[in-house]
Structure 1
Amino acid sequence: MQHQKFLSSTLPSTTSTYRQNAGGKKQKKKWSKGKVKDKAQHAVILDKTTSEKLYKDVQSYRLVTIATLVDRMKINGSLARQALADLEEKGIIKPVVTHSKMKVYTRAVGSS
């Protein structure tokens, strides 16, 4: 009995040891929101100024695709497709690659 009393009095309690060694409560991970890209406001109808700019500037482009028209003219993709078809019909641009997924055009050389 004395032996048990001796052991219990000299050894520290385990619960107080854990409390001393335990750090603060872990914070919850804050997930980043990611980069927010501004929504582009592209024209859906070809107005007069954009139309004039389109016919004037496209003649100087070496490579004409839907993406280049969308990027440079700030027009909608469907509007760019219609504009390319119209420009090809008028002979301002000529097709290089005509695939259902990607149409690549270049300026028509020697046309005025």
Structure 2
Amino acid sequence: MPPKEGQTKKAKMAAANNASKRATKKWSKGQTREALQNAVMFDKDTLEKLRNEVPKYKLITPAIISDRLKITVSLASAALKQLCREKQIRLVSCSSKHRVYSRIVVAAPPQEASS
């Protein structure tokens, strides 16, 4: 089998120069998330909303509270622990990373059957 004919040095240099002139590939579209400006302390309105509305939610997590009330997740976690201590919400699931709370469901008194 005869040896393959390789490119000359001039051809190799020309190919290298043409390759460097090509546009470089972008790996992402460059989308960025907007920076959040969540509150780190409660004001009167937010605290009132926390005490009135949050115990009515079916599913309560620090992330949900942080998103809806525009507060930090650590502040939401502390507030939920306080609401749980006050028996306004109940702890459903607890792990080292996540805590899931729910509203307290009051059992309805049994109704007497009318005959």
TM-score (norm 1): 0.71
Which structure carries more helix by proportion? Answer: 1
The residue identity in structure 1 corresponding to 2:51 is Y
Higher alpha-carbon Rg:
1
Q: Which runs of 5+ in 2 are unaligned?
A: 1-10, 108-115
Task: Indicate whether 1:86 and 2:102 are aligned.
Answer: no
Structure 2 CA distance for aligned equivalents of residues 38 and 65 of structure 1: 22
Q: Which runs of 5+ in 1 are unaligned?
A: 1-17
Q: Structure 1 residue runs of 4+, over 6 Å off?
A: none
Match of 1:47 in 2: 43
- Alignment root-mean-square deviation, CA: 2.1
Structure 2 CA distance for aligned equivalents of residues 62 and 28 of structure 1: 52
TM-score (norm 2): 0.69
Task: Indicate whether 1:69 and 2:65 are aligned.
Answer: yes
Structure 1 CA distance for aligned equivalents of residues 92 and 25 of structure 2: 50
Report sequence identity in percent. 43
Deviation per CA, 1:60-92: give whole Å up to 9, x if none.
200001111111111101101110111001111
SS in structure 1 at match of 2:60 = coil
Q: What pairs up with 1:1-112 in 2 under 5 angstroms? A: 25=18, 26-29=21-24, 31=26, 34-110=30-106
